[in-house]
Amino acid sequence: MNNSVQAVIELQSLLRECRCCPDMIPPVVLGEPVPSPVFSIGQAPGDKEGPAGRPFAWTAGKTLFQWFERIGVDEQRYRENVYMAAVCRCFPGKNPKGGDRVPTRKEISACSGWMEEEFSLLQPRLVIPIGKLAIGELLPVGKLTEVIGQQFELELWGVTTSVIPLPHPSGASTWHRTEPGKTLLDKALTLIATHPAWRTLFHAER
């Protein structure tokens, strides 16, 4: 790749200073500044990710990294090699009715400008959106069964790339622990493991 780590660091430094959404709770949560051909997109950090200083730092992250361990990549290697983005990078706050607040369209749009910059810089060849909110920003999705376990070839922000969606690894969700979710998740992980961009990063270990 032609992109340098320094260029990614500089972009992340600008992103860290963003405070354009008054209802979002900083800090901005970012993954490692790796110039990677594989780009994952989460939904938004929870209340534990800000203090931890990294995405997927709590319960959902444990499940997510267990999935990747099934295809031969542990958490540390994933974080060191995959660029971890999100639909929104600050904690949206709690929903009075329970759970975290869903970001507004205005907040999502504000953060998508940063993602466009990241795509332009990184030119990812494989994108892994995690959860229905993230998937829905890239392609139409009604039910998860319509998209999980499939690979899509799309043009995103001017970059032609493969998209392989994953369900959200939330402990509150039973989708990935029951059928047909379990089988579709396995199929999605196999697609990721055999994708050329993933194999380039992780030396075709599987």
Q: What is the pTM of this model?
A: 0.95
Say if 102 falls within a structural domain.
yes
pLDDT confidence of residue 97: 87
Tokens 């402990």 locate to: 171
pLDDT in tens, 58-70: 999 999 999 999 9
Say if 104 falls within a structural domain.
yes
Find the CATH number of the domain harbouring 108.
3.40.470.10
pLDDT confidence of residue 13: 97
Total structural domains within the chain:
1
Say if 182 falls within a structural domain.
yes
Residue 2 pLDDT > 70 = no
Say if 205 falls within a structural domain.
no
Say if 206 falls within a structural domain.
no
User: pLDDT band at 171, cuts 50/70/90?
Assistant: confident
Say if 82 falls within a structural domain.
yes
Q: Which residue range(s) make up the domain with 34?
A: 5-199
